[in-house]
Structure 1
Amino acid sequence: MEKLLKAGVTIKGTKEGLLFFLDDTRPFDEVMVELSDKLTNQSHAHMWDGPLMNVIIKLGKRRITAVEENEIRTIFTSHENLVIHAFESEDMPYLLELTPSLQVRSGTVRSGQVLTHQGDLLFMGDINPGGAIHSTGSIYVMGALRGLAHAGSNGDASSIIAASLLRPTQLRIADTISRPPDQWNDKDIGMRFAFLEKKQIMVERMSYLSRIRPEKDWKENGHLHR
């Protein structure tokens, strides 16, 4: 039997106005499409063209960025009588405070060279043995990491280091230094990332990232979808 898809947007009327419940298990973009459809649905015209009504947006366990908040507000601008009074997330602030935007750089860091960066960095290229890359945020290398990488250099222990080929001479996250390079498994294939857990640097497949670092989801930085 085909499983019915839960509604992305549910509307409930109260004495104070309308509550819009946005499903926190559905992708944000899908929920926005459904929200727009509901507000243009002629069968609900009597609700949208009436007197002024306060609207509270219920986000569930979802938190949104300022850009996503503006997207929701823009959808409501087609109905001047619907006034967004508040956004609410369960037991936490609804607005997600972002880290500095992810910056992209490319090239090759050769032996003796040191690349430093403020914030999260996506590096398109290789870090050769003897080369080093330091960032106050997370480091994502679309290439081979065979040199030294230091993420969270200002003390951010939640930073990660990811690479298409992870064969570093040394990894550092905040103040913690990785295991010796001869302990890396040459049989590991595919993009992997290193993270800090109980003051020890651990390495996992990229698919594991959302389990332990949900805040590192790149959509929150406006780059990839969660």
Structure 2
Amino acid sequence: MLDSKQMITIKGTKEGLTLFIDDHSSFEDVLSELSDKLSEYRPKKDEPVVPVTVKLGDRYLSDDQKRQISEQLSSKNSFVIQSFDSNVVHRDEALTWKKESDIKVVNRIVRSGQVFEYVGDLLLVGDINPGGKVIATGNVFIMGSLHGIAHAGSNGDRDAVIAASFMKPNQLRIADYISRAPDYDAEGIYMECGLIDEKEDKIVIDRLQVLSHKRKDINGFERRMLNG
């Protein structure tokens, strides 16, 4: 007896169509069934383009395979791929995600003229001297004195923060924001952080305790540090 299980299930939604593709079938069989299903559809003249989301389950598709599915859907039909959703990512994508989500722990003093760049969150155990600079795509946490320049969210993350045990920076940068001259005591302040205030449209200095309220994901960082 032949297996009559469908490899492709199509469901209509308010946003368009969703295609569920069986993740155990061969790609060639999936293409064949998709072609058969599309041959039954005859779009009306001037019919609007329908966005399609393709659910892949535990299947990974190469760019070429995605192109083949997109071409089948768009050819002679009023469909356009909106997104491919998969539970599986390519190894390179996974490594990139891991690199960006890791916390880089560095034990050093950043001296005048030195510039260090990091991917992800940075925990610097040491000082940044005047003229020294650190740049991170994520948050910057300094267990020491910040006298130089710290740039967090260098890839454009405006939710990134800068925190230091002692804050007296030459300059703070978060994403594309640059701090003005410090408006706090010239002697510096202890256990403070810098973050973007959207209402004031600038970087503000605040107590370290506000991070748990204004940046909920910081709690994840704290848990990771406590658990090693």
TM-score norm. by structure 2 comes to 0.52
1:135 and 1:169 map into 2 onto residues whose CA distance is 17
Partner residue in 1 for 2:206: 204
Q: Secondary structure at the match of 1:223?
A: helix
Structure 1: segments with no counterpart, 5+ residues: 1-96
Partner residue in 1 for 2:152: 151
| Residue pair 2:167, 2:189 contacting (<8 A) in 1 also | no
Partner residue in 2 for 1:179: 180
Partner residue in 1 for 2:57: none
2:139 and 2:130 map into 1 onto residues whose CA distance is 20
Q: How many Å apart are 1:188 and its aligned residue? A: 5.8
| Residue pair 1:133, 1:150 contacting (<8 A) in 2 also | yes
Taking only the aligned residue pairs, the percentage that are identical comes to 44
Q: How many Å apart are 1:189 and its aligned residue? A: 4.0
Partner residue in 1 for 2:110: 109
Q: Secondary structure at the match of 1:108?
A: coil
Partner residue in 2 for 1:19: none
Paired residue type of 1:129: P
Partner residue in 2 for 1:190: 190
Structure 2: segments with no counterpart, 5+ residues: 1-96
**Match runs of 1:25-174 below 5 Å:** 100-174=101-175
| Residue pair 2:136, 2:153 contacting (<8 A) in 1 also | yes
Residues 113 and 200 (structure 1), Cα distance of their counterparts in 2 relative to 1, 3 Å cut: same
Q: Deviations over 1:79-99 (max 9, x none)?
A: xxxxxxxxxxxxxxxxxx996
Paired residue type of 1:216: I
Q: How many Å apart are 1:166 and its aligned residue? A: 0.5
Partner residue in 1 for 2:217: 215
Q: How many Å apart are 1:138 and its aligned residue? A: 0.3
Alignment RMSD, CA only? 2.1
TM-score norm. by structure 1 comes to 0.52
User: Deviating runs (4+, > 6 A) in structure 1?
Assistant: none
Q: How many Å apart are 1:187 and its aligned residue? A: 5.9
1:151 and 1:221 map into 2 onto residues whose CA distance is 20
1:222 and 1:185 map into 2 onto residues whose CA distance is 33
| Residue pair 1:101, 1:221 contacting (<8 A) in 2 also | no
* Higher gyration radius (CA): 2
Q: Secondary structure at the match of 1:208?
A: helix
2:188 and 2:213 map into 1 onto residues whose CA distance is 20
2:185 and 2:128 map into 1 onto residues whose CA distance is 18
1:173 and 1:139 map into 2 onto residues whose CA distance is 10
1:193 and 1:145 map into 2 onto residues whose CA distance is 11
Paired residue type of 1:117: Y
